[in-house]
Structure 1
Amino acid sequence: MTAKTTLKEIAERTGVSVSTVSRIINSPDDTFARKPIRDKVWEIVRETGYTPNQSARALKRSTESPAKKPLTVTCILGRTRNFEDNPFFAQVARSVEQQALSMGCSVSKPYSVLDVSERLLLKEAGSVKADGAIVLGRFKAGMRNFFENHYKNIVYVGRNVIDADWDQVVCDGYEAGKTALRYLMELGHRRIGYIGETKDEVRYRAYADAVKECGLDDDRALVASFPQDSAGGYRGAGYLLRASVPRPTAVFCATDISAVAAIKRFSEAGIRIPEQLSVIGMDDIEIAQYVTPMLTTVSIPKVELGKVALHTLLDRINGVHRLPIKIFLPHKLLIRESTAKPKVSE
């Protein structure tokens, strides 16, 4: 980039006002403006290496010193091909990028380790000399060496702790799962189904432990082992409709995106939510409060995960800490409309 990109130039390329671009970049929950416009703005930000005017920001934040050369950070998707497939990590990544810009860093285009060949992956990683990387979600064991060979400074973000000597920012999916199941039991549900992955998945372990420890119905037909995406949620609901007799009175979905799809499948089968079947998810993605009925879920602090990850990465780059650290953030139960007490007849 030969000349510093300005908000005005981004606005002209996007076809919106400068104030709109500014508000999109600084939106605390990434909800300002329509999604296509937001995505276009951030695409240009990454493409141009845009960084805010640090002289102006220094006046606003007198305790901060503007960097002589902006640090570059990148986000890497560990287990999904793109953000459309995983709105949870999409919001975490957006939080990382917003925080990076606010601190005078440059952000590069994120990429996935799943959708490119090894040769293209090497090219993708080498195309931008990032000072640090934030890995979003778990990844295949063989990828650890790839990350460590290409990035000196790495922070992992997810709902599961991983076996790596990296800094990790985690919201414990096991405890969040226990919270979801505890709430369903408090409502009176004993026959609870599960939709999600089962191998090395702490949310499934929370389900399995609850079944064992609390004397819930122990029926393998209640476990729909499917990917934790929209297609997996839809297929998982179909499996429960076919295999579980009697059907569960409640279903715990490992993610909101799978829960929304499951509700669609159950509704297509004529099952009323929550009168006949309660559904609870995890994450609190944007769509969760707009579906009908609004989804009861366990909220994972996506914005905070992104902010803490970025601060942790910069501390690592600047030598503030040397030993790998683990930071755990809390979750919160959000009771909405998709759960209710089971019918007495059930």
Structure 2
Amino acid sequence: MHISCYKRFQWFISNYKDYLQIIAEGEMVKILDVGGHQWNGSVDDILNECSPHQLDVLDICDGNGVTIIPRDPYCWAEIPDESYHFIYSLNTFAHIEYFWLTIKEMQRITKKGGIVLIITPSMRYDGCYPYACWAINKDGLAALSKWSGLTMINASVAGVPDMNCDDAWDFPLDDAMLIALKGTSVHYDFPKLNYQRRFVSPSDQKASLIKRIEMIIKKDPNKIKYWIEKHKGRISFYGAGDLCYKLLSYISKESIGVIVYENKPTMIEFEIKKMEWVCKNDKNIPIIITVSTNYLLPEIKRELKRCGFTDIYYLRDFLCDLEKQS
């Protein structure tokens, strides 16, 4: 499961768990995961917020967590009409050959007032397991909702709750997300993802960040020097590419702590170290993550923390600090 999909599901449960409790009328919330064979991540920890609940997992083959394997993948005779309060499918519709039949079954077995949630890539890619058939945009999800007899609450592509949410929401294939209701008469203020923040390619991000660095230095060549003096007198970097090299050109050598990178470095003027090679003292000075692939940043930060680094900055936050500095 892509981390961006995980974040959107987390947002959904946080904002819809109260509604699901209401329609369950004091009983367990009955939930079905369509395509939930846990071979690439799980959302069980998020579902624990929606308690008490009963979770069934439907897939076309046996696997970790699967509880229902229908004889016919497009006609789930094993499941009675209106069985579930909430049915979701995460990163599965792209792999279903005839997904319009799947959503019809999802609509059939959803209780009146129940919710259907679909998250799927909106852009083409050549994937696997066992097919990668479709990419669906916002209008496509709206059409699916209408055709299946559901009432659309919200359809979005690269939808975010606000434009300043963390980079884990961003994904190269721009998640499409449908929230739909079975029925039309429920009076409830359903939250929506009203903002769109499409994925920006790493090369475009890098060019934008380099330009931003140049503008900051043009206004005041000593900005980075003053920031370093306020933060233990030295600074380290994760990443040995163009962004790091650009910043190093404005920093004296005695102010450089360590440059950390796990892959083959592109710089030969400086010593590059792997995370585990960095001594304990060097892990206490600020380290800036100079990587332009946004969706990788949370994982890099987790790894740095795991290795003992204590003062970690994303490059954009570091640049914000410089811009605010008087």
Which one has the largest radius of gyration?
2
Instruction: Please tell me the TM-score bracket, short chain as reference.
Output: 0.3 to 0.5
Q: Which has the higher contact order (CA 8 A, sep 6+)?
A: 1
Higher strand share: 2
TM-score (normalizing by structure 2): 0.33
Higher helix share: 1
